[in-house]
């Protein structure tokens, strides 16, 4: 009998350990798995000689097609996507538009070049002058009248013994062969890391067969194959974070365009606009949520009796019964279509709120309602409910009528006339709805922190003749302040990771604009929208995982710091 | 200032009820009063909204599969979360010794509870769908390749992903419940000659049971409303059949399924709401809110029952 | 059951220094939400510049009675009371009373020392700031005075800027007394002020009470018979929310007129 009980105990213990280790392993393994998926994006580019092209993805293009960019032979050449390149060796190069044939921009190119090749997405030109390789490209959008400019991006020092050169069909990468039978690949994006392979035969022609396959030919016509493997960021993690001068863009920019509209253009993976969007949304949300939730927390934590508190806390928690997808839908279908009016009303309410709320207290007390005894504050929220309703109604009406009196007749029209247009999907709406979503979280944590401070401290202050507000302000709230800050941090983490509201309301435009009337694109929304479409092994997929890890790290760190603060507050309060 | 903070409480309560009233009014107005887009009477209309064939184009009919999908997802998830979460909590608070690494694990799990669900979603896609699913397909469904069976988003993977999202939540809630059980109880049980497992399961667990249940129910409520991972690992706009079957285990684990939250999200993608669309959206939202609300209320009242047992601190 | 004591019966023999009533309690009844008869029709007069002890078994309503004198009961939800507590000729239980001003006149010290998590100085100066003493000089003076009055000055004069939480329990309790004294209250309420202290600290508190009664009216709730006998001039014995007996301490302790009082004092119950 005793043995059986012992056996049962031990086996149950084992079962529990097994289950919990599985869980712990799964949760911690999650991070590792994500790192494993994301890691290859940071791999350096490689160049490798192979015997047959089997297993190398990408269609083979004919030699003739890829040859037509050889400028040394021609004086006139038409590029594929509608731009012309004119000239001859020794003459200035001229870029014109092929439909009108009006020269749009003339640029003096080095006249003493030996080889020139198109590179990248038909917008770039690699020119070998002496022993330097120069990279030029178009930029369409800067100059006035949309006149494209030709700009020199980068100059790379290479050997002077280059015999053949070929530009990568998609990226700013060139491959060339030297007279000493060396095959080199230079990535203009990361020019210090050039790849080279020594071969033992003479090479006189080099061709990109596909974005990852190079074919080099000997004078006798034998072909050598090389595989070029590079992630879309060329193995340079800084490209995720720093501004980049992309082909076709006038200046260095932060761009998130993983699936550019032109099929062969270089995908652009700057995570900065997304991080910017995430922070912007989260901070706006805090702006709305912090006063509201901390106000609630202070009231419930300080002035409510235990019994009442047990009723009101869950009531406020009921806001979590509105899942974020519902909040997003409400924002999208009910608020966004009338955003101008909503905003006018909101401004009115916010402006009137403090005034009327304070006045209202005097009204409530001044009416001499006997039950509002000096310290018994339990019922205030309920008693104030009609008043708040009134404030909201009056404030909204005031806001609306105020807006109607603006020149233009509405807030939108007025803002538009002063040069600000409210886009349908704007950050402000995201902030408001997101703020609502994180209010219960902040409230709950902050209230806990306040409530944890022993009430006899406040009683001490009250016994010295403080008003309830003075007592709590001077004694309780300073102790709870770190806890309240922790609450805000957790709320921030929530807001930064929230997905549905952002997907539905932010417009998902990856612009970096401080204006609260513009849309934004957040990391979370990008993950939700792009990951299902991204091929499993693509750079895009990997970059998305990197962003997932960034978001994970952000929330994890914020939560950890908040947790540490909370633990310290708890220790401190326990000692009182 | 007190007045201001009191008004904040009223404001939050008002916002909550205001949103609810908005949904109820829009849904009610559409169901009872408007004639768009159906001409039929109220009962027929109700029948259309719930039981007619789902309309792939723009919704408006056939919510039933989405409700079934949501419920089966939540149930399958609970099947994973309940035993694993409770076991882990028991391990952490009853079995594991108090060393630095158990502390670390505890803190990590607390923090994982705050990690956004979308992160679990991308893990779910990478690990469950592409990783495990691919393996399962290669081993058991090789004949059907290259079209994937399990190597594609589906009910099982969605449930597993949601389980991961909620495991930390459940573990934290249950651990807190177990920690709140006074040590006297354990000592008394051991002093009476009980084994470890008898102490845990017969003395400690019964005392912590309400918090276990309220934690589980809260997790379920959260799962019902969590849509973002589903964008990656499972839900679809339209599924030709329910994820149920007449044969054991009665749930088709590999099937894609419809989900209330996803339907709501999907309404966003309509270029323009069809006539009556607003009422439709309100209907879905209302059902979701009611579902979660009921779960929340249950959890809260369980917790209130626990709190009632504790004595109130006297401020003096 | 006990008969509610008759007002005239319990009026104490006025002592030499204690000729006038500082506080008069008249037909005071109080109910909590879940204990509607916490105090039942209590009437007695508390002599000025003397120590009045309230004794009785745990839960008989001593603290409740004490909290009526500065309306701290208002903090508790659902409290109902009737009757009068007269201080300086006015009924402090009337709804029109300015309770914050009242609490400045009637200081209170709790069972467990509850210094604010601030410095020693700030603790004592807190009440002063509330009542509008803004100048640093005045504050310093009054803080020193209060700390001296609480017999704490010598121990803390070099540590005024240390956290009050670093003081010993006994010192904390005297600090809390100093905090109350800084407002120069007429009446000082002490709710079992020594029950969480060690004997030495208790002794010091008792000494302090003896000092303070020269200038203050003190009402002390205590569990400890010996303490009541040692420090108080008058004693009120409560039982089950009623005032059973009230009189000069000597009389109560030597010739209690009620059986219950005698039983309690001699330790037969309670
Ligand atoms: N905050 C309160 N709420 C409800 N009942 C209370 C409260 N404080 C005290 N009581 C009740 O009032 C009675 C008297 O309490 P109290 O005055 O604290 O007694 P004493 O100080 O003599 O021990 C007790 O029965 C107690 O349960
Ligand atoms: Mg007491």
Window 34-93 of B: residues touching C by CB (8 A cutoff) are none
Check whether C85 has a pLDDT greater than 90: yes
Q: Does A372 lie at the interface with B, CB-CB under 8 angstroms?
A: no
Backbone angles phi, psi at C110, to 5 degrees: -95, 170
- Same-domain pairing of A227 and A293: no
Structural domains in chain B? 65-269+281-313 (1.10.3720.10)
Predicted local distance difference test score (pLDDT) of residue A440:
93
Task: Give pLDDT tens digits for A533-576.
Answer: 888 888 889 999 999 999 999 999 999 999 899 888 888 887 77
Predicted local distance difference test score (pLDDT) of residue B19:
92
Task: Summarize the confidence of residues B62-76 as an average pLDDT.
Answer: 85
Task: Summarize the confidence of residues A216-232 as an average pLDDT.
Answer: 84
Task: Give pLDDT tens digits for A377-417.
Answer: 666 677 777 778 888 888 888 888 888 888 777 777 777 87
Check whether A368 has a pLDDT greater than 70: no
CATH of the domain at A278: 1.10.3720.10
Predicted local distance difference test score (pLDDT) of residue A377:
62
Rounded to the nearest angstrom, the minimum Cα separation between B149 and chain A is: 17
- The residue nearest atom 19 of ligand 1, judged by CA position, is C59
Question: Mean pLDDT of all residues in chain A?
Answer: 79
Kindly give the distance from the C-alpha atom of residue C80 to the centroid of ligand 2, in angstroms, as a whole number: 18
CB C237 within 8 A of CB C264: yes
Beta strands in A218-277 (DSSP E): 223-229, 256-257, 268-269
Task: Summarize the confidence of residues B10-14 as an average pLDDT.
Answer: 88
- pLDDT confidence bin for C31, thresholds 50/70/90: very high
Backbone angles phi, psi at A154, to 5 degrees: -145, 150
Partners of residue A320 in chain B, C-beta under 8 Å: 221-222, 292, 296
- Same-domain pairing of A231 and A328: no
Question: Is the CB of B147 inside a 6 Å radius of any atom of ligand 1?
Answer: no
Token pair recorded at residue C174 = 């005297």
Kindly give the distance from the C-alpha atom of residue A457 to the centroid of ligand 2, in angstroms, as a whole number: 17
Burial string for B191-201 (b: 16+ CB within 10 Å, else e) reads eeebbbbbbbb
CB A268 within 8 A of CB A510: no
Predicted local distance difference test score (pLDDT) of residue B308:
67
Q: Which helix (H) or strand (E) holds C253?
A: helix C249-254
Host domain of residue A223: 46-255
Task: Give pLDDT tens digits for A1-10.
Answer: 568 888 888 8
Check whether A122 has a pLDDT greater than 80: no
Q: Which of A29, A30, A550 to mutate to probe the B interface, most B CBs <10 Å?
A: A30
Question: Is the CB of C80 inside a 6 Å radius of any atom of ligand 1?
Answer: no
Residues 6+ apart with CB under 8 A from A72: A89, A114, A115, A116
B196/A9 Cβ within 8 A = yes
Window 287-316 of B: residues touching C by CB (8 A cutoff) are 315-316
Check whether A95 has a pLDDT greater than 70: no
Check whether A59 has a pLDDT greater than 70: no
Ligand 1 mutation target, pool C61, C192, C221, C241, most atoms within 8 A of CB: C61
DSSP-derived pairing of the beta strands A205-210 and C35-47: unpaired
Check whether B208 has a pLDDT greater than 90: no
Predicted local distance difference test score (pLDDT) of residue B50:
75
**A244: β partners:** A253
- pLDDT confidence bin for A352, thresholds 50/70/90: confident
* Higher pLDDT among residues A512 and A457, named by residue: A457
Q: Does A378 lie at the interface with B, CB-CB under 8 angstroms?
A: no
Residues 6+ apart with CB under 8 A from B71: none
- pLDDT confidence bin for B272, thresholds 50/70/90: low
Predicted local distance difference test score (pLDDT) of residue C51:
94
- Same-domain pairing of A436 and A517: yes
Predicted local distance difference test score (pLDDT) of residue A55:
47
Distance CA A174, CA C149 (A): 90
CB A527 within 8 A of CB A503: no
Check whether A147 has a pLDDT greater than 60: no
Predicted local distance difference test score (pLDDT) of residue A149:
59
- pLDDT confidence bin for A496, thresholds 50/70/90: very high
Predicted local distance difference test score (pLDDT) of residue A287:
95
Check whether A435 has a pLDDT greater than 90: yes
Check whether A104 has a pLDDT greater than 90: no
- What DSSP assignment string belongs to A118-166? EETTTTEEEEEETTEEEEEEEE-SSSGGG--EEEEEEEEE--S-EEEEE
Distance CA C190, CA C180 (A): 10
Check whether A81 has a pLDDT greater than 50: no
∠ at Cα C100 (C97, C103), nearest 5°?
A: 95
Check whether B311 has a pLDDT greater than 60: no
Predicted local distance difference test score (pLDDT) of residue C64:
93
Closest of A263, A212, A241 to residue A546, by C-alpha: A241
Q: Does C72 lie at the interface with B, CB-CB under 8 angstroms?
A: yes
Residue with tokens 């038409």: A78
Of chain B, the percentage scoring pLDDT greater than 90 comes to 17
- Same-domain pairing of A115 and A213: yes
Collapsed DSSP state (helix, strand, coil) of residue A178: strand
A499/B115 Cβ within 8 A = no
Confirm whether A474 is domain-assigned. Answer: yes
CB C247 within 8 A of CB C5: no
- pLDDT confidence bin for B102, thresholds 50/70/90: confident
> Which partners does chain C have (≥3 C-beta pairs < 8 Å)?
A, B
Question: Is the CB of C153 inside a 6 Å radius of any atom of ligand 1?
Answer: no
Distance CA C41, CA A126 (A): 103
Task: Give pLDDT tens digits for B148-174.
Answer: 767 677 888 889 999 999 999 999 989
Rounded to the nearest angstrom, the minimum Cα separation between A404 and chain B is: 25
User: Interface pTM (ipTM) of the complex?
Assistant: 0.88
Predicted local distance difference test score (pLDDT) of residue A64:
33
Question: Which atom from ligand 1 is nearest to the alpha carbon of C221?
Answer: 21
Check whether A78 has a pLDDT greater than 50: no
> Which partners does chain B have (≥3 C-beta pairs < 8 Å)?
A, C
**Mean pLDDT lowest among B122-126, B261-265, C210-214:** B261-265
Into how many domains does chain A fold? 2
The upper half-sphere exposure of residue B84, i.e. CA atoms within 13 Å in the direction of its Cβ, equals 21
CB atoms within 10 A of CB B240: 11
- Same-domain pairing of A211 and A115: yes
Check whether A123 has a pLDDT greater than 80: no
Token pair recorded at residue B83 = 């035993």
- Same-domain pairing of A557 and A484: yes
- Same-domain pairing of A165 and A235: yes
Kindly give the distance from the C-alpha atom of residue C36 to the centroid of ligand 2, in angstroms, as a whole number: 17
Closest of B273, B261, B231, B294 to residue B63, by C-alpha: B261
Rounded to the nearest angstrom, the minimum Cα separation between A267 and chain B is: 21
- pLDDT confidence bin for A236, thresholds 50/70/90: confident
- Same-domain pairing of A287 and A206: no
CB A268 within 8 A of CB A420: no
Check whether B247 has a pLDDT greater than 80: no
- Same-domain pairing of A251 and A283: no
Residues 6+ apart with CB under 8 A from A526: A256, A274, A508, A544, A547
Residues 6+ apart with CB under 8 A from B169: B113, B215, B218, B219, B222
* Higher pLDDT among residues A454 and A52, named by residue: A454
Of C114, C127, C165, the CB nearest to A456: C114
* Higher pLDDT among residues C192 and C2, named by residue: C192
Task: Give pLDDT tens digits for B87-99.
Answer: 999 999 988 888 8
Check whether B60 has a pLDDT greater than 60: yes
Q: Which of A10, A27, A302, A470 to mutate to probe the B interface, most B CBs <10 Å?
A: A27
Rounded to the nearest angstrom, the minimum Cα separation between B179 and chain A is: 15
Give the chain A residue whose CA is nearest to the CA of C111.
Answer: A456
Ligand 1 mutation target, pool C37, C40, C63, C220, most atoms within 8 A of CB: C63
Single residue among A188, A222, A255 that ends a domain in this structure: A255
Closest ligand to Cα C195: 2
* CATH topology assigned to domain C16-265: Rossmann fold (3.40.50)
Check whether C8 has a pLDDT greater than 50: no
Q: Measured between alpha carbons, how far is residue A541 from residues A524, A538, B7, C216 in Å? A: 14, 5, 48, 79
Check whether A256 has a pLDDT greater than 90: no
Predicted local distance difference test score (pLDDT) of residue A438:
95
Kindly give the distance from the C-alpha atom of residue C35 to the centroid of ligand 2, in angstroms, as a whole number: 15
Question: Is the CB of C73 inside a 6 Å radius of any atom of ligand 1?
Answer: no
- pLDDT confidence bin for B235, thresholds 50/70/90: low
Ligand 1 mutation target, pool B311, B314, B315, B316, most atoms within 8 A of CB: B314
Task: Summarize the confidence of residues A321-341 as an average pLDDT.
Answer: 89
Check whether A62 has a pLDDT greater than 50: no
Task: Summarize the confidence of residues A183-203 as an average pLDDT.
Answer: 84
- pLDDT confidence bin for A72, thresholds 50/70/90: very low
Give the chain C residue whose CA is nearest to the CA of A457.
Answer: C114
Check whether C4 has a pLDDT greater than 90: no
- Same-domain pairing of A431 and A494: yes
Give start and end residues of each alpha helix (H) in B54-99.
64-90
Give the chain B residue whose CA is nearest to the CA of A463.
Answer: B316
Check whether A98 has a pLDDT greater than 60: no
Rounded to the nearest angstrom, the minimum Cα separation between C65 and chain B is: 13
Q: Does B5 lie at the interface with A, CB-CB under 8 angstroms?
A: yes
Question: Is the CB of C59 inside a 6 Å radius of any atom of ligand 1?
Answer: yes
Of chain A, the percentage scoring pLDDT greater than 90 comes to 20
Q: Does A146 lie at the interface with C, CB-CB under 8 angstroms?
A: no
Collapsed DSSP state (helix, strand, coil) of residue C64: helix
CATH of the domain at A241: 2.130.10.10
- Same-domain pairing of A68 and A208: yes
């Amino acid at each position: 009998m005793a043995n059986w009980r012992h056996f049962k105990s031990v086996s149950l213990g084992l079962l529990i350990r097994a289950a919990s280790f599985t869980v712990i392993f799964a949760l911690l393994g999650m991070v590792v798995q994500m790192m494993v998926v994301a890691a290859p994006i940071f791999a350096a580019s490689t160049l490798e000689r192979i015997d047959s092209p089997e297993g190398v993805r990408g269609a083979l293009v004919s030699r003739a097609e890829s040859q037509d960019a050889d400028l040394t032979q021609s004086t006139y050449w038409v590029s594929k996507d509608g731009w012309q390149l004119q000239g001859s060796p020794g003459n200035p190069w001229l870029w014109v538009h092929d439909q009108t044939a009006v020269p749009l921009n003339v640029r003096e190119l080095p006249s003493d070049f030996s080889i020139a090749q198109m590179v990248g997405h038909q917008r770039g030109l690699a020119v070998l002058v002496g022993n330097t390789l120069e990279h030029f490209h178009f930029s369409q959008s800067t100059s006035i009248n949309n006149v494209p400019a030709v700009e020199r991006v980068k100059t790379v020092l290479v050997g002077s013994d280059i015999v053949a050169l070929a530009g990568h069909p998609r990226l700013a990468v060139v491959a060339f062969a030297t007279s000493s039978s060396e095959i080199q690949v230079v990535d203009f994006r990361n020019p210090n890391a050039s790849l080279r392979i020594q071969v033992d035969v003479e090479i006189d022609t080099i061709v990109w067969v596909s974005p990852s396959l190079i074919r080099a030919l000997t004078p006798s016509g034998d072909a050598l194959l090389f595989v070029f493997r590079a992630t879309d960021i060329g193995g340079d993690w800084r490209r995720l974070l720093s501004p980049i001068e992309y082909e076709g863009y006038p200046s260095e920019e932060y761009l998130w365009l993983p699936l550019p509209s032109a099929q062969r253009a270089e995908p652009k993976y700057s995570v900065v606009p997304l991080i910017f969007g995430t922070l912007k949304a989260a901070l706006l949300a805090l702006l709305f949520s912090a006063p509201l939730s901390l106000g609630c927390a202070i009231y419930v934590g300080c002035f409510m009796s235990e019994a009442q508190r047990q009723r009101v806390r869950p009531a406020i928690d009921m806001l979590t019964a509105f899942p974020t997808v519902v909040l997003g839908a409400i924002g999208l279908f009910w608020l966004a279509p009338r955003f101008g009016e909503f905003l006018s009303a909101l401004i009115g309410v916010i402006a009137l709120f403090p005034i009327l709320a304070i006045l209202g207290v005097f009204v409530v007390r001044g009416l001499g309602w006997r039950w509002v005894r000096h310290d018994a504050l339990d019922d205030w929220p309920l008693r104030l409910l009609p008043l708040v309703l009134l404030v909201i109604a009056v404030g909204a009406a005031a806001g609306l009528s105020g807006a109607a009196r603006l020149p233009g007749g509405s807030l939108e029209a007025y803002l538009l006339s002063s040069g600000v247009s409210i886009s349908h999907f704007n950050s402000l709406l995201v902030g408001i709805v997101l703020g609502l979503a994180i209010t219960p979280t902040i409230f709950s944590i902050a209230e806990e922190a306040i409530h944890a401070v022993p009430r006899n401290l406040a009683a001490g202050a009250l016994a010295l003749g403080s008003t309830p507000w003075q007592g709590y302000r001077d004694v309780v709230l300073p102790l709870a302040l770190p806890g309240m800050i922790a609450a805000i941090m957790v709320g921030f983490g929530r807001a930064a990771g929230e997905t549905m509201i952002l997907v539905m309301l932010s417009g998902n435009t990856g612009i970096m604009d401080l204006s609260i009337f513009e849309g934004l694109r957040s990391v979370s929304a990008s993950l939700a929208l792009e990951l299902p479409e991204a091929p499993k092994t693509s750079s895009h997929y990997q970059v998305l995982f990197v962003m997932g890890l960034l978001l994970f790290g952000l929330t994890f760190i914020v939560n950890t710091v908040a947790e540490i603060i909370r633990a310290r507050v708890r220790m401190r309060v326990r000692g009182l | 200032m007190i007045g201001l903070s009191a008004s904040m409480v009223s404001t939050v309560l008002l916002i909550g009820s205001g949103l609810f009233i908005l949904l109820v009014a829009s849904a009610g107005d559409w169901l009872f009063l408007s004639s768009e887009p159906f001409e039929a009477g109220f009962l027929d209309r109700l029948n259309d909204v719930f039981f007619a064939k789902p309309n792939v184009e723009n919704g408006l009919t056939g919510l039933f599969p989405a409700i079934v999908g949501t419920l089966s997802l939540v149930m399958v998830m609970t099947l994973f979360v309940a035993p694993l979460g409770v076991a882990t909590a028991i391990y952490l608070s009853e079995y594991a010794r108090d060393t630095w690494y158990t502390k670390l694990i505890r803190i990590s799990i607390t923090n994982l509870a705050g990690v956004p669900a979308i992160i679990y979603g991308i893990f779910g896609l990478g690990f469950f769908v592409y990783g495990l699913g691919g393996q399962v397909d290669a081993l058991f469904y090789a004949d059907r390749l290259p079209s994937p069976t399990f190597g594609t988003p589906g009910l099982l993977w969605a449930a597993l992903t949601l389980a991961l999202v909620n495991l930390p939540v459940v573990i934290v809630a249950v651990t807190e419940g177990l920690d709140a059980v006074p040590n006297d109880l354990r000592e008394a049980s051991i002093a009476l000659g009980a084994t470890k497992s008898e102490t845990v399961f017969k003395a400690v667990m019964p005392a912590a049971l309400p918090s276990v249940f309220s934690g589980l129910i809260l997790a379920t409520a959260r799962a019902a409303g969590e849509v973002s991972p589903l964008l990656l690992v499972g839900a679809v706009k339209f599924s030709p059949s329910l994820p149920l079957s007449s044969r054991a285990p009665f749930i088709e684990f590999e099937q894609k399924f419809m989900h209330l939250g996803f339907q709501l999200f999907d309404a966003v993608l309509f270029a323009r709401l069809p006539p009556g669309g607003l009422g439709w959206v309100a209907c879905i939202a209302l059902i979701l809110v009611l579902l979660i609300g009921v779960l929340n209320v249950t959890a809260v009242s369980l917790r209130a029952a626990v709190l009632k047992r504790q004595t109130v601190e006297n401020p003096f | 059951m006990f008969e509610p004591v008759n007002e005239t019966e319990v009026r104490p023999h006025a002592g030499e220094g204690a000729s006038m009533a500082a506080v008069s309690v008249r037909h005071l009844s109080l109910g909590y939400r879940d204990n509607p008869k916490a105090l039942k029709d209590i009437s007695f007069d508390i002599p000025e510049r003397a120590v009045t002890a309230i004794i009785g078994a745990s839960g008989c309503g001593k603290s409740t009675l004490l909290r009526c004198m500065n309306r701290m009961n208002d903090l508790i939800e659902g409290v109902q009371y009737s009757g009068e507590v007269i201080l300086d000729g006015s009924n402090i239980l009337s709804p029109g009373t300015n309770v914050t001003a009242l609490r400045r006149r009637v200081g209170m010290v709790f069972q467990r020392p509850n210094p604010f998590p601030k410095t020693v100085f700030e603790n004592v100066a807190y009440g002063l700031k509330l009542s509008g003493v803004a100048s640093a000089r005045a504050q310093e003076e009054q803080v020193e005075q209060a700390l001296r009055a609480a017999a704490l000055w010598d121990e803390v004069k070099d540590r005024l800027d240390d956290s009050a939480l670093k003081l010993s329990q006994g010192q904390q309790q005297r600090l809390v007394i100093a905090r109350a004294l800084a407002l120069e209250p007429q009446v000082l309420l002490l709710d079992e002020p020594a029950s969480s202290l060690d004997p030495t600290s208790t002794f010091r508190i008792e000494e302090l009470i003896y000092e303070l009664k020269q200038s203050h009216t003190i009402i002390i709730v205590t569990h400890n018979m010996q303490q009541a006998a040692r420090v108080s001039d008058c004693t009120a014995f409560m039982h089950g929310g009623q005032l059973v007996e009230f009189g000069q301490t000597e009389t109560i302790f030597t010739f209690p007129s009620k059986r219950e009082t005698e039983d309690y004092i001699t330790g037969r119950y309670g």
